[in-house]
Structure 1
Amino acid sequence: MKQLFLILIALTASAGFSQNSLSDLLNKYNKKNIAYISVQELTMPKTNAVILDARETNEFNTSHIKNAIHVGYNHFNIESIQTLIPDKTTPIVVYCSIGIRSETIAHKLKKQGYAHVSNLYGGIFEWKKNDFPVYDSEEKLTDEVHVFSKEWGKWLTKGKQVY
């Protein structure tokens, strides 16, 4: 009985530390210094933005949003973006797995003077959850999404998890 009581206390305590929703998770980790754009908004024809993928190469190669440009996170290079996108009024949407790393990259772009930078709310996980297509390194449709780690994998609710 004592063991069961201790297990229940441990489970209750760990539940208090876990995030209950994507919104809770993003509120915990993000500074809210970049506006979000929803996956639905991004798919609208009027949203003519350059899409930047702020995940690592293996994540991008597993799957990415069509026409996204891989910029990475750990080795992000602002100078390459300034060459690629010289017009700082160009609308830009940055995404990652769920929207945490992309906020950091988007903020770096804002600090360099890019005026219209958004963070894709929920990242590629939210994209996939809403049944939008993702493409592999050969630009073929895939159901696979790199989830970064088992901890983050719980947020991918549709598609096949890849580590």
Structure 2
Amino acid sequence: MLRNLFRGLSLLFVLLLASCVRAQTVPPRLETGYPELDKKLSQLISADEHAISATEARKLSTAIFLDAREKEEYTVSHLPSAIHLGYNSPDYDQLEEIDKSRPVVVYCTVGYRSERAAKKLRQLGFSQVYNLYGSIYAWKLAGLPLNDAAGKPTEKVHTYSRKWGSFVPDSIGEKVW
């Protein structure tokens, strides 16, 4: 009897745990083309109306790109012309002169931190704020360029950590953490 109760509680626990995983159907336009990363992203960040792909973001000619990573990450590599915003202590003051109706694309390593930063920017009155789905990983997987601290092209990609670097192929470039 206790064994059956234990099995029942164990099954209930597994079902509850599974319901906490935020897997979702991701539109094909947001997929990175790398299945392991796509699976992780579907559980981690929203594929909603605020999500934008790397190719869509690249086409926004008037967009401002904001990097929601820490300075060390930004220094290794960032999107061309991106402004460093930061995450732990974001510098929103530097955005005071920006027209709040202008498109803003926020990114980080995979999109988790940038999704939260984008939400804050919308609260601050910016009306066209997008989270780069898959962030710097998706950008690089799409074959788009990165710059280093001197503004020169680089093949280095800051992966946040060794673990997070395992979600992208080695062909993405030189992984730094």
* One-letter code aligned to 1:109: L
* One-letter code aligned to 2:45: N
User: Over residues 72-100 of structure 1, what are the superposed CA-to-partner deviations in whole Å (9 max), with x where a residue is unaligned?
Assistant: 1011133332x242x21111000001111
| 1:26–1:34 Cα change, 3 Å | farther
Flag structure 2 segments of 5+ consecutive residues without an equivalent: 1-17, 24-34
Of the candidates 146, 164, 177, which is equivalent to residue 152 of structure 1? 164
Whole-angstrom CA distance in 1 between matches of 2:58 and 2:40:
24
Q: Are 1:34 and 1:103, in contact at CA under 8 Å, matched by a contact in 2?
A: no
Q: Which residue does the alignment assign to 1:57?
A: 71
Q: Which residue does the alignment assign to 2:89?
A: 75
Q: Which residue does the alignment assign to 1:108?
A: 120
CA offset at residue 121 of structure 1?
1.0
Provide the TM-score with structure 1 as the length reference: 0.79
- Aligned-residue CA RMSD in angstroms? 2.2
| 1:70–1:84 Cα change, 3 Å | farther
Flag structure 1 segments of 5+ consecutive residues without an equivalent: 1-15
* One-letter code aligned to 2:106: V
* One-letter code aligned to 1:51: F
Q: Are 1:34 and 1:107, in contact at CA under 8 Å, matched by a contact in 2?
A: no
CA offset at residue 22 of structure 1?
3.3
User: Over residues 37-73 of structure 1, what are the superposed CA-to-partner deviations in whole Å (9 max), with x where a residue is unaligned?
Assistant: 11111222x5420000001101100000000000010
With 23-32 and 115-124 compared, the bigger mean Cα shift is at 23-32
Q: Are 2:159 and 2:175, in contact at CA under 8 Å, matched by a contact in 1?
A: yes
Of the candidates 100, 106, 113, which is equivalent to residue 88 of structure 1? 100
Q: Secondary structure at the match of 2:105?
A: strand
Provide the TM-score with structure 2 as the length reference: 0.73
Q: Give the length in aligned residue pairs.
A: 144
Q: Which of 1 and 2 has greater Rg?
A: 2
CA offset at residue 32 of structure 1?
5.7
Instruction: Indicate the percent of aligned positions where both proteins have the same amino acid.
Output: 38
Q: Are 1:95 and 1:120, in contact at CA under 8 Å, matched by a contact in 2?
A: yes
